[in-house]
């Protein structure tokens, strides 16, 4: 069980999730006063958790869709090494995306719409945009900026 958890954390690149959560918090802090931060604390916590889960799901699906390239370029990845199967990885990715979207829905409809946009763009990147040069770069740039925007949105 411990080995499976380690494989899932490596697969989903959890360290990137921590950076995403920091971006959400930075966006919230930069857009609100101390008083508004304390009144929106629940939104910030739920939003940070949602962002972490969305990041985990998108990175998991990136490895699922990228397994053939990873066999050559990243043979240490959990899917390539067989630490976890494609079916299990896909279920894990779907679960993290669904729970992340549900958390964003608890916050409110605008939060959900922004998270849904990030998921759709991230999945489009995983499936095909990464091979489209400039469009892939735009998708990555957009989703890289979104934690800060999302954090600011949580304060409204």
Class of domain 2-154 as given by CATH? mainly alpha
Global pTM reads: 0.94
Give the pLDDT confidence of 91-138 residue by residue, as tens digits. 999 999 999 999 999 999 999 999 999 999 999 999 999 999 999 999
pLDDT grade for 45, boundaries at 50, 70 and 90: very high
Supply the pLDDT for residue 35: 73
Give the pLDDT confidence of 2-27 residue by residue, as tens digits. 998 999 999 999 999 999 999 999 99
CB 6, CB 18: distance < 8 Å: no
Tokens coding 142: 């957009």
pLDDT at residue 38 above 90?
no
% of the chain exceeding 70 in pLDDT: 99
Q: Which residue has the tokens 């629940």?
A: 42
Q: Is 13 left (phi over 0), alpha (psi -120 to 50) or beta?
A: left
Residues 122, 124, 126, 132, CA torsion sign: negative
Burial (CB count <10 Å: 0-12, 13-18, 19+), residue 84? buried
Q: Give the side-chain half-sphere CA count within 13 A for 54.
A: 32
Q: Where are the domains of the chain?
A: 2-154
């Amino acid at each position: 069980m411990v080995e499976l958890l380690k494989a899932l954390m490596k697969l989903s690149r959890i360290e990137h999730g921590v950076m995403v959560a920091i971006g959400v918090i930075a966006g919230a802090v930069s857009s609100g006063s101390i008083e508004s931060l304390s009144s929106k604390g629940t939104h910030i916590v739920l939003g940070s958790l949602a962002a972490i889960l969305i990041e985990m799901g998108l990175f998991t699906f990136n490895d699922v869709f990228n397994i053939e390239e990873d066999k050559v370029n990243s043979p240490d990845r959990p899917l390539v090494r067989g630490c976890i199967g494609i079916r299990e990885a896909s279920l894990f990715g779907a679960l993290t995306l669904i729970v992340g979207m549900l958390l964003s829905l608890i916050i409110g409809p605008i939060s959900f719409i922004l998270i849904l946009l990030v998921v759709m763009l991230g999945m489009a990147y995983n499936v095909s945009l990464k091979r489209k040069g400039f469009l892939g770069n735009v998708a990555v740039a957009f989703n890289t900026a979104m934690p800060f925007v999302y954090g600011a949105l949580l304060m409204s």
